[in-house]
Amino acid sequence: MQHTTPALRFSGGDVAAWQEQLRPKLRELLGMPEPSAFPLRARTLWRSELELGTVEKVVFAAEPHADVVAYFCVPYDRPAPHPTVICLQGHSTGMHVSIARERDDESAPFEVEGDRDFALGALRHGFAALCIEQRSFGLRREQTQSAVSPHGCHDAAMQALMLGRTLVGERVFDVDRGIDYLAARGDVDLSRLGVMGNSGGGTATIYAAAVLDRVRFAMPSCAFCTYADSIMSIYHCADNYLPGLLRWAEAADVLGLFAPKPLVVVAGRDDAIFPLTGVRRAYDDLRTIYAASGAGQQCRLVIGDGGHRFYEKQAWQALLDVLR
């Protein structure tokens, strides 16, 4: 890494012109499926009540043979169209964590640690939430192979590479199709549509923000750091790696593709796999890009007093501030 200089790293000048060079290269490296006119075939499986709002369990098609299951939650007493955030869990038992209900008994609540009940946090702040089950997690985990990796994303990540894809690129594609689903509903304010997630959900948030035009704000948690300080020097799951990326860009460049849109980066002071020294280094470079785009105040760093988790109160306070 000391002898590698990313060819499209931001070095000053016109931010928009630089983004026009890097963004298509990043899409190529992500190996995302091509934009699709494949019918969504959206359907609702059930509706229920939460303390803070209503929830629907829905299914829609991403591409042939790949359906996305999700929860769509709406706060009580808020008129449509709703500001909405797409919620992405990381390495966990699945999207059910976002609504604090058991995966195998969705009528049963359970205590969620680390503020990972993202949908409830969104409802508390007046936002609707679409909680997507990411590929290889939860209900979309590997269930047919005779031998399965102990790391839930490994099999899907390796199989994606054989197809000329990446698992994180497929997850970003599902977010894009989730936006198609939200647009088709007619009760979502697409001008106030964001993405958030922690850990593996934060990683997907970063790449979705970088390449999906319709994302208007983003809040990645415990996923942003220089590559040297994190995924290139500490063990991480396979879905964190993008073949060839370092030849072109560093982490700040990837997230810098989101400038000048509102962005809150969340980190834990004691996060062992995304060390704070590397987070600060990457954030300094990111702020340089935001400042060059004329939006220095649209980018915030929130540091929670803890480890690899989300920090709802601080993060949402910062988000609402930059969204004003």
Spell out the per-residue pLDDT of the chain, length 324, in tens: 889 999 999 999 999 999 999 999 999 999 998 887 899 999 999 999 999 999 999 999 999 999 999 999 999 999 999 999 999 999 999 999 999 999 999 999 999 999 999 999 999 999 999 999 999 999 999 999 999 998 889 999 999 999 999 999 999 999 999 999 999 999 999 999 999 999 999 999 999 999 999 999 999 999 999 999 999 999 999 999 999 999 999 999 999 999 999 999 999 999 999 999 999 999 999 999 999 999 999 999 999 999 999 999 999 999 999 999
Is this structure's pTM higher than 0.85?
yes
Sheet with 66-75, edge to edge strand ranges:
43-49, 53-63, 66-75, 128-132, 82-88, 188-198, 217-221, 263-268, 299-304
Find the farthest-apart pair of alpha carbons in the chain and give their distance in angstroms, rounded: 57
Q: Tell me the C-alpha distance between 88 and 239, whole Å.
A: 14
Contacts 24+ apart (CB under 8 A), 285-291: 285/10, 285/250, 285/252, 285/253, 285/256, 286/224, 286/252, 286/255, 286/256, 288/10, 288/252, 289/10, 289/15, 289/252, 289/253, 289/256, 289/259, 290/256, 290/259, 290/260, 290/263
Q: Tell me the C-alpha distance between 28 and 21, whole Å.
A: 12
Q: Tell me the C-alpha distance between 208 and 309, whole Å.
A: 20
Count of other CB atoms within 10 angstroms of residue 65:
6
Whether the CB-CB separation of 304 and 258 falls below 8 Å is answered with no
Q: Give residue 188's identity as a one-letter amino acid code.
A: V
Helix and strand numbers, DSSP H then E, in the chain: 8, 9
Quick check: helix, strand or coil at residue 178? helix
Query: Measured on CA atoms in the order 82, 40, 132, 58, is the torsion positive or negative?
Result: positive
Q: Tell me the C-alpha distance between 97 and 78, whole Å.
A: 24
